[in-house]
């Protein structure tokens, strides 16, 4: 009974994507890092333990973000009148260049990790830059803030400005060093991160695929985000049937666990390939709207059985808060539905599931309050001037739609308040 905590409050999570699971005024028992149960009345054996009582507050699983660019945190809201390729060339590469400077990296990454913590994104899959020293600073800041993450040293050796273009050998060596340095780390793990096919040579993709296989490391990249980008990939890699096959044939599409951001314009064959491999497509609705990329047909993909995650894609996405990303994924599906009634609207439970349980599955047993999962949770306080007790589900909707970090009063990760 040494490390038992009894947490009382209104719990909301999802067992699957189809509905919310609500446990009003319940007791959740945490044994060390793990949940050992949730109940309406407290069993006799626990009666001597002091209850941590959150009253009318809502307790939800903490968020996981499966696609975010740490160096773009200060770029949110800028360049939003451009489409992808111009936005990269005119805006993004300039801001990533600044991470040559260690002092700048220290300052910005300290802010970035603090923001993740504030918004309750306690686990995430992050793109760094091509700069090794800065990537290590990012890893250090995440560890210091007690967060869990996969961090990728970004690879790019062509079609990029000289100041971000790596030499093939250096790019692979640096990635290998990063893997070796972090593969046994408890909190920050390496993930292989070719920026996207157009910024990588055939040889670089081959080398990265080999590293993924040799060290059993997951992969993250961008896929089929914008129609000009898709066309460009066809020109750069004419010998491949489609964009997904470029990654697949280089060992970077499901041979190890893979995250592919966007995936808006997939051909039927690519959908088939994704269905049959260990690939999660990461829906980034804010970014897709901001860069006029398009709208993923997320409900069609879900109904086909594809594994779909959710990402903020900061800085093309402007909201770090996954509550806002959840809302935008629903709103985007409504726009799609308005234009084509064959497209179904995304349910709130589906979007919430993706940001918690679905995304969490990339990290293992987290994302809902099932017995045996890590107790990773946020205590949400509804500050609205209400008469009487707030209805828990109403509080959740209010938080999703207009809440922010100020509504998150407590954060738990692996059973501990952080
Ligand atoms: N494709 C290649 N690089 C990027 C990036 O930084 N952001 C987005 N949204 N798409 C990309
Ligand atoms: Fe991205």
174-230 pLDDT, tens digit each:
999 999 999 999 999 999 999 999 999 999 999 999 999 999 999 999 999 999 999
H/E stretch holding 123 reads strand 121-127
**Which CATH code of 3.20.20.150, 3.40.640.10, 3.10.105.10, 3.20.20.140 fits the domain covering 63-360?**
3.20.20.140
Structure tokens at 408: 């998150």
Q: Could you tell which of 73, 84, 228, 246 is best to mutate to test the pocket of ligand 1, judged by most ligand atoms within 8 Å of the CB?
A: 84
Residue nearest to atom 3 of ligand 1 (CA): 195
- Report the distance separating Cα 24 and Cα 301, nearest Å: 33
Atom of ligand 1 nearest to the CA of 225: 10
pLDDT on residue 13? 98
Atom of ligand 1 nearest to the CA of 127: 6
* CB 316 less than 6 A from any atom of ligand 1: yes
How much is the average pLDDT of 98-109? Answer: 98
* Closest of 190, 249, 247 to residue 215, by C-alpha: 190
Give residue 26 CA to ligand 2 midpoint distance, Å: 39
How much is the average pLDDT of 255-279? Answer: 98
Q: Which tens digits make up the pLDDT trace of 32-80?
A: 999 999 999 999 999 999 999 999 899 999 999 999 999 999 999 999 9
Confidence bin at 259 (pLDDT 50/70/90):
very high
Average pLDDT, the chain: 97
pLDDT on residue 305? 98
Cβ 195 vs Cβ 222: under 8 Å: yes
Give residue 225 CA to ligand 1 midpoint distance, Å: 8
Whether 1 has a pLDDT exceeding 70, the answer reads no
Q: Give the β-pairing of 4-16 and 51-61.
A: parallel
Neighbours of ion ligand 2 (CB under 5 A): 261, 313
120: left (phi over 0), alpha (psi -120 to 50) or beta: left
pLDDT on residue 331? 98
Note the ligand closest to the C-alpha atom of 226: 1
pLDDT on residue 264? 98
* Closest of 103, 169, 156 to residue 128, by C-alpha: 156
Residue nearest to atom 7 of ligand 1 (CA): 316
Which residues, in sequence order, are CB contacts of 184 under 8 Å at separation 6+?
none
As annotated, the residues of the chain forming the CATH 2.30.40.10 domain(s) are: 4-62+368-417
pLDDT on residue 123? 98
As annotated, the residues of the chain forming the CATH 3.20.20.140 domain(s) are: 63-360
Whether 417 has a pLDDT exceeding 80, the answer reads yes
How many Cβ atoms sit within 10 Å of the Cβ of residue 47?
9
Q: Could you tell which of 195, 311, 317 is best to mutate to test the pocket of ligand 1, judged by most ligand atoms within 8 Å of the CB?
A: 195
pLDDT on residue 388? 82
CATH architecture classification, 4-62+368-417: Roll (2.30)
H/E stretch holding 403 reads none
Whether 374 has a pLDDT exceeding 80, the answer reads yes
Atom of ligand 1 nearest to the CA of 284: 9
- Report the distance separating Cα 37 and Cα 46, nearest Å: 12
Confidence bin at 386 (pLDDT 50/70/90):
confident
Cβ 167 vs Cβ 203: under 8 Å: no
* CB 196 less than 6 A from any atom of ligand 1: yes
How much is the average pLDDT of 386-414? Answer: 94
How many Cβ atoms sit within 10 Å of the Cβ of residue 149?
29
Confidence bin at 385 (pLDDT 50/70/90):
confident
């Amino acid at each position: 009974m040494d490390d038992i905590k009894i947490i009382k409050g209104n719990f909301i999570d999802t067992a699957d994507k189809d509905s919310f699971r609500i446990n009003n005024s319940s007791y959740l028992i945490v044994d060390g890092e793990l949940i050992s149960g949730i109940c309406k009345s407290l069993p006799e054996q626990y009666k001597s333990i002091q209850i941590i009582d959150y009253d009318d507050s809502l307790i939800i699983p903490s968020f996981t973000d499966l696609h975010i660019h740490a160096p773009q945190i200060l770029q949110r809201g800028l360049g939003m009148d451009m489409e992808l390729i111009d936005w990269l060339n005119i805006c993004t590469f300039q801001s990533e260049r600044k991470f040559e400077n260690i002092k700048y990296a220290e300052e910005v990454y300290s802010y970035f990790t603090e923001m993740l913590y504030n918004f309750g994104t306690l686990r995430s899959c992050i793109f760094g830059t091509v700069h090794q020293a800065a990537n290590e600073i990012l890893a250090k800041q995440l560890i210091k803030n007690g967060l869990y993450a996969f961090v990728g040293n970004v690879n790019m050796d062509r079609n990029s400005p000289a100041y971000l273009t790596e030499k093939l050998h250096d790019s692979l060596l640096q990635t290998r060093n990063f893997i070796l340095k972090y593969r046994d780390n408890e909190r920050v793990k390496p993930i292989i991160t070719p920026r996207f096919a157009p910024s990588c040579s055939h040889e670089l993709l081959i080398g990265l695929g080999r590293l993924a296989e040799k060290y059993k490391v997951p992969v993250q990249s961008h896929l089929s985000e914008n129609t000009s980008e898709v066309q460009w990939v066809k020109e750069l890699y004419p010998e491949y049937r489609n964009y997904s096959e470029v990654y697949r044939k280089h060992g970077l599409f499901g041979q190890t666990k893979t995250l592919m951001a966007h995936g808006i314009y997939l051909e039927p064959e690519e959908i088939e390939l994704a269905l049959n491999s260990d690939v999660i497509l990461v829906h980034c609705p804010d970014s897709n709207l901001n860069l006029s990329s398009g709208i993923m047909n997320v409900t069609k993909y879900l109904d086909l059985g594809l594994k779909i995650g959710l990402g903020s894609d900061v800085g093309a996405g402007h909201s770090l808060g996954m509550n806002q990303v959840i809302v935008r994924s629903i709103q985007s599906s409504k726009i799609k539905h308005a234009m084509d009634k064959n497209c179904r609207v995304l349910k709130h439970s589906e979007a919430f599931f993706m940001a918690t349980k679905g995304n969490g599955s990339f990290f293992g047993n987290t994302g809902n309050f099932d017995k045996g999962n890590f107790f990773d949770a946020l205590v949400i306080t509804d500050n609205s001037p209400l008469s009487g007790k707030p209805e828990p589900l109403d509080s959740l909707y209010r938080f999703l739609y207009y809440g922010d970090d100020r509504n998150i009063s407590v954060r738990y990760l692996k059973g501990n308040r952080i």
